Amino acid sequence: MKITRVKKHNMDMATKPLPQKIEDIRKQFKHEWLLIAVDSMDKATTTPLTGHLLAHSPDPMEIHKIALQHKGLLATLYSEDWPEDIAACFYAKIFS
């Protein structure tokens, strides 16, 4: 299974990637899971609006493993509309 991590960026503002609209990120990939660091969200609906891609893979478990290595607000999304034969269960572990 191929997994692609997006090149790590120095968190200095000069090199941090600019946020992209979530829908624009989704359109770049076909049938892959995306791990996105969320930069802004609609507070009324808790829908991510902008972010930057951390990794993408056709295997959701690979994305989950990478997500465990990151802190901050993350979104795991499928690049397409949900296939009818897929269900989702979300688990969050908060560290203080």
Residues 25-64: tens digit of each pLDDT = 999 999 999 999 999 999 999 899 999 999 999 998 999 8
Strand partners of residue 77? 34
Residue 81 has pLDDT above 80, yes or no: yes
Integer Cα distance of 25 and 17 in angstroms: 13
At which residue do the structure tokens 């609006």 appear? Answer: 49
Break the chain into its structural domains and give their ranges: 4-78
Contact between 49 and 22 under an 8 Å Cβ cutoff? The reply is yes
Top pLDDT among 94 and 46 is at 46
Q: What is the value of pTM for the model shown?
A: 0.74
Residue 87 has pLDDT above 90, yes or no: no
Enter the DSSP assignment of 80.
Answer: S
